[in-house]
């Protein structure tokens, strides 16, 4: 086998092929594979194998790192067009909603149950503490968030706020504030999951205590059912989204603590992909909750209709995420 005449000779002998391959890839990336003519399509696999051969030689003979890096990038780009499956954007989006998102949610069913339990514990604790001592209310609900809805408010004031009479009600501002608060909690539940899930536990319990405190307040005036309807129309989606965000955070945090047979880095990376897919669904749910809060809550004042919409939305999310479907296999 003929010896290579140094790095400069090696580059000079093969640089023309690399440039030709790079030009073909540039046209394919900027437009599509359909932009290539028959000659380019025949040359692409040949040039790709040549680039792989050059990369192998460059590595074995310890040529300069810059050249090795360049060839690695070139081969990686070419591999995609030679062997990769190029799926249209619409098909990828369809596959995400039809397969990837439900699979991610089903894979996190244990974490979801834990997040639901923590929220329920927080709500029960908040309710019982406030019922036993009204002074706890201010500990769970910030004055800015309460906006006058505390134990000094009359039953008529609280009742009128639930139905937005004449379309002019400060509770509309409160609802927007509450939605912003819940969205922030959802994001933090996920983002802080890496800290072994401890901050996520605290956030879920704290959010639950606030919910329980509100029911204690309205329940003391005989308005618990009315508050449930007001929250239901958007809250079944919004609160479910927070619980799922908590599950996403737990997925990452627990993978670091209990990596199994994999390294902690590999376990966190695998869990991160599932959790990130789940968070895309959480964002979608929060957008839906925002629309329901902005329109449905103000246009629909009957309690039965509010509960019906809330129940239908909750059933929809549960069926979409968890109903077994043919061809759908859960992540490990």
Q: How far is it, in rounded angstroms, from Cα 296 to Cα 163?
A: 12
* pLDDT for 328: 58
* pLDDT for 220: 95
* pLDDT for 110: 95
Which residues of the chain fall short of a pLDDT of 50? 1-4, 167, 330-332
Q: How far is it, in rounded angstroms, from Cα 250 to Cα 248?
A: 5
Q: How far is it, in rounded angstroms, from Cα 121 to Cα 226?
A: 22
* pLDDT for 290: 85
3-state secondary structure 193-212: HHCCCHHHHHHHHHHHHHHH
DSSP, residue by residue, 47-69: HHHHHHHHHHHHHHTT--HHHHH
pLDDT tens column, 8-30:
677 778 888 888 888 888 888 77
Instruction: Answer yes or no: are the C-beta atoms of 70 and 10 closer than 8 Å.
Output: no
* pLDDT for 86: 57
* pLDDT for 112: 97
* pLDDT for 1: 38
Among residues 249, 162, 150, the alpha carbon closest in space to that of 140 is found at 150
Q: How far is it, in rounded angstroms, from Cα 245 to Cα 220?
A: 31
* pLDDT for 30: 77
3-state secondary structure of 29: helix
Q: How far is it, in rounded angstroms, from Cα 253 to Cα 197?
A: 5
Residue found by looking up tokens 């069926």 in the block: 319
* pLDDT for 63: 65
Handedness of CA 138, 233, 325, 271 (dihedral sign): negative
* pLDDT for 297: 67
pLDDT tens column, 216-249:
999 999 999 999 999 999 899 999 999 999 999 9
Residue found by looking up tokens 């939605």 in the block: 179
Query: Full-prediction pTM beyond 0.85?
Result: no
- Give the Cβ contact number of residue 294 at 10 Å: 15
Q: How far is it, in rounded angstroms, from Cα 248 to Cα 108?
A: 7
Helix, strand, coil percentages, rounded to 5, for the chain? 80, 0, 20
Supply the DSSP symbol for 2. P
Maximum Cα–Cα distance across the chain = 96
Q: Cα separations (Å) of 318 from 106, 236, 289, 315, 323? A: 10, 11, 15, 5, 7
* pLDDT for 91: 73
Enumerate the domain spans of the chain. Answer: 6-86, 95-322
Q: How far is it, in rounded angstroms, from Cα 37 to Cα 41?
A: 6
């Amino acid at each position: 086998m003929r010896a290579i005449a140094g790095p400069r000779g090696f580059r000079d002998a093969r640089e023309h092929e690399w440039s030709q391959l790079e030009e073909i890839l540039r046209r394919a990336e900027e437009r599509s594979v359909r932009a290539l003519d028959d000659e380019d399509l025949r040359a692409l696999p040949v040039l790709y194998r040549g680039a792989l051969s050059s990369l192998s030689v460059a590595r074995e003979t310890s040529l300069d790192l810059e050249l090795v890096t360049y060839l690695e990038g070139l081969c990686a780009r070419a591999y995609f067009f030679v062997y990769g499956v190029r799926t249209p954007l619409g098909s990828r989006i369809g596959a995400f909603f039809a397969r990837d998102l439900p699979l991610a949610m089903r894979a996190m069913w244990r974490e979801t149950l834990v997040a639901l339990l923590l929220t329920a514990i927080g709500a029960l604790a908040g309710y019982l503490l406030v019922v036993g001592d009204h002074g706890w209310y201010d500990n769970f609900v910030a004055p800015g968030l309460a906006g006058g809805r505390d134990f000094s408010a009359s039953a008529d004031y609280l009742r009128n706020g639930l139905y937005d009479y004449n379309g002019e009600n400060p509770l509309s501002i409160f609802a927007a504030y509450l939605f912003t608060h819940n969205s922030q909690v959802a994001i933090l539940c996920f983002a802080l999951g890496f800290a072994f899930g401890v901050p996520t536990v605290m956030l879920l319990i704290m959010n639950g205590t606030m919910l329980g405190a509100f029911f204690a307040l309205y329940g003391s005036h005989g308005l618990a059912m009315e508050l449930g309807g007001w929250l239901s129309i958007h809250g079944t989606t919004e609160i479910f989204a927070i619980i799922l965000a908590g599950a996403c955070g737990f997925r990452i945090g627990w993978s670091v603590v209990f990596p199994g047979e994999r390294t902690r880095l590999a376990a966190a990376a695998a869990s991160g992909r599932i959790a990130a897919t789940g968070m895309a669904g959480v964002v979608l749910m929060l957008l839906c909750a925002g629309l329901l809060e902005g329109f449905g809550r103000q246009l629909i004042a009957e309690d039965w209709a509010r509960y019906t919409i809330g129940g239908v939305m909750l059933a929809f999310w549960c069926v979409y995420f968890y109903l077994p479907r043919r061809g759908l296999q859960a992540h490990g």
